[in-house]
Structure 1
Amino acid sequence: MFTLPQPKEVETIDGCPAVPLTDVLADFEDVMRAIYDPFHFDTLSPEAGLSAVITFISGILRVSTKYNMHVLRSKCISIIAHKFPSTLAGCDRVLSAQSVYEPSDIVRVIPLARETNVPEVLPWAYYLCTHIPTTKLINDSVLSWRDKALCLAGKEKLWEAQKTITHTVLFEFTRSPTCTIGCTSRLPTMGWRDTETLRASPHPLEEYTGMAALKFCAKCQAQMETQHRTGREKVWEMLPEIFQLGTWLDIRRDQSC
């Protein structure tokens, strides 16, 4: 390889051939900092918001993906995955922490994940996008029309899942076979305004904490809690398919390629 003839006219820097790169200069500068400064990632505060996280890792992730810099790529993925979980336990963590996701930041993640082949973050990113008001989502200049369509169609599927899988107690209650006090007469009443609020921003993965307040018997409450828990697990497994991403197994296999 070293005996191959070199071009007669080639740009050099300090006598060394210069190789032109098509990468964004700022992205490459970020990579150089990450390579030569062993504490570069420590400069990102653990409390940093999503906007700061995306800005910090985007350039490094793009370049490290392009040039197969596996260590840097893995580090960037671990940082963004902390905000966009790929497990139900991770989902519960961000929900309990009441993490703040601004719409303008969420929509930046989707094209970045597609460009750099990080599909693990997409299901939660799409899920969050379904909470963006429809008009604002349609007028967004970052998302593609395909992504907008996936979000809008996904919103309807999430609403159906909330009604029939995770939060059925709010819409249709089935009494426990061992109930002896007629709990069906204590069903909560949902006004049309409450229903419309839920439909406009479905959240089937949210833990329902109002079971005790419904004052059902212990048998019925236990049945409802089990149904709610297993329902959330089921919807989480369905999440990639809701947004036409295959299964979680497909996603992990694709990302490892």
Structure 2
Amino acid sequence: MVIEGCPVVHLHDSPDDFACLLKALYNPFYFAGSSVDERIPFNNVTAILRLSNKYDIQPFRQKSIQELKKVFPCTLHDYDAIYPLGTTITLTCHDIIQSILLARACTTLELLPCIYYLMSRFSMKTLLRCHTLLPRDEMEICLLGREKLQEIRETVALSFLLDPKPSQHCSNPTLCERRCLTTLNRTISNTLHLGIYALTTDPELAEILLCGPCAEEKLSAHRAARENLWNELPNYFGLGTWEELRSAQK
């Protein structure tokens, strides 16, 4: 089609998405990168990834993936930096559902474990209300992974408290064992430590009031348990291993 002597190509992309891509193409500062204080809007990043993947604009595709890793981290170190204790996740269930679909469509599979984990933290009521927005097999992955995380909360997330045995160097074994058991009972009853929050750092760890050697052993066990949970996170959602996801993404 030609209009006023100019060829016209009909595009079926979202006008908003295409506007983001044009801004990134013609304004070098628009998509230059983000900082903790000034993030590129989430919807803009997903729009540019969607179109850069479709039109094979590799620099923008890679940049979009790097920006999304600031929302859906792929290492425990980055997760702790992005979501420290007390952080409120601002993404909606709809945002995360769209992220799942986008990650699948663009083969950015390394993002999926964290996306699924964040989605599993929503209440069951919220998940059921949003279930029509996600294919059934994807919702099954989320719900089954959520169930697995709940099942392992005692064996992984709370493993550092399940063995109340004091350190060999404990200065008061009876007191430390009693305080450890008291903390375990309080922690299990706290909904913060359900499986869907399995990666959350225990805020009471600093308040256990154990002796130095006991506290260090419990903290070390807690850190090891979280690392193990993170390493297994893709497997809980049927995604294989982190390495397999990275290889499939290349």
Interval containing the TM-score (normalised by the shorter chain) = 0.7 to 0.9
Q: What CA distance in whole angstroms lies between the structure 1 residues aligned with 2:234 and 2:134? A: 18
Gaps of 5+ in 2: none
Distance 1:209 1:55 in 2: 33
CA contact (8 A) 1:65 1:116 kept: yes
Structure 2: how far apart are the matches of 1:212 and 1:73?
A: 42
Q: Which residue of 2 aligns with 1:125?
A: 115
Residue 69 of structure 1 corresponds to 57
Aligned to 2:177: 184
Is 1:54 the counterpart of 2:47? The answer is no
Whichever of the two has the greater Rg, that structure is: 1
Summarize deviations over 1:208-240 as a string: whole Å, max 9, x none. Answer: 232342232333222211110111111111111
TM-score by length of 1: 0.81
Which letter does structure 2 place at the counterpart of 1:83? Answer: V
Contact map agreement 2:187 2:193 (CA 8 A) in 1: no
For 1:157 and 1:120, locate their aligned partners in 2 and report how far apart those are by CA, in whole Å: 20
Please point out which of 221, 224, 228 is paired with 2:218: 224
CA distance in structure 1 between the aligned counterparts of 2:194 and 2:205, rounded to whole angstroms:
23
State the number of aligned residues: 244
How many angstroms apart in 1 are the aligned matches of 2:88 and 2:4? 50
Q: What are the residue-to-residue correspondences of 1:81-92 with 2, within 5 Å?
A: 81-92=69-80
User: 1:202 maps to which residue?
Assistant: 196
User: How high is the TM-score relative to the length of structure 2?
Assistant: 0.83
TM-superposed deviation, 1:26 = 3.5
> What's the CA shift for 1:103?
2.7
Computed over aligned residues only, the root mean square deviation of the Cα atoms, in angstroms, reads 2.9
Which 5+ residue runs of structure 1 have no aligned equivalent? 1-10
Is 2:157 the counterpart of 1:166? yes
CA contact (8 A) 1:53 1:80 kept: no
How many angstroms does 1:27 deviate by? 2.7
Cα gap change, 1:113/1:224 in structure 2, threshold over 3 Å: closer, same or farther?
Answer: same
- Structure-2 residue corresponding to 1:7: none
1:26-60 alpha-carbon deviations (Å, 9 max, x no partner): 433322221122222269886567xx833212222
Q: Separation in 2 of the partners of 1:45 and 1:233?
A: 26
Separation in structure 2 between the aligned mates of residue 199 and residue 216 of structure 1, nearest angstrom: 21
